[in-house]
Amino acid sequence: MIIMAVDYGDVRTGIAVCDKFEMLASPVCVINQRKQELLIEEIKALTEKHKPELLVVGLPKNMDSSIGERAEKCSEFASLLSESTGIPHVMRDERLTTVTAHNALNVTNTRGKKRKAVVDQVAAVVILQDYIDFRRLNNIK
């Protein structure tokens, strides 16, 4: 099944997809859009292109696993996105994914403006790869 990940942000939103065999998450893009309605329309266009059957939206829990204001905002966004696209969604804990993304970009020596431009899509890849690994390990179809 093709799955699309969304790393939702107030300014930049990272998008990633996996192949139909759920083997590898790949970056798609970063959407620079502050207006939620327009962001949903841009993501909807990407769903029409990539044809995912499931959306995975990052859930930024607090380090103590509690749900804060940001996580609630992401959950509300995910519901609106599913409603608009007709594609079901799951929320996936995204704690430390941005740290992991920055570490990956350190390895490739990606710095400055280029890093800022891609870190959100790398975070989306991390969220999606974590989710497809979870599905594989738990034999979820």
Q: Using an 8 Å Cβ cutoff, are 32 and 11 in contact?
A: yes
Residue-by-residue pLDDT tens, the chain, 141 positions: 999 999 999 999 999 999 999 999 999 999 999 999 999 999 999 999 999 999 999 998 877 878 888 889 999 999 999 999 999 999 998 865 665 655 565 555 555 555 555 667 888 999 999 999 999 999 887
Helix (H/G/I), strand (E/B), else coil: 28:
strand
Helix and strand numbers (H, E) in the chain are 4, 5
Q: Say whether pTM exceeds 0.85.
A: yes
12 conformational bin, left if phi > 0, alpha if psi -120 to 50, beta if neither: beta
Exposed, middle or buried: residue 36 (CB in 10 Å: 0-12, 13-18, 19+)?
middle
Could you give the domains of the chain?
Answer: 3-137 (3.30.420.140)
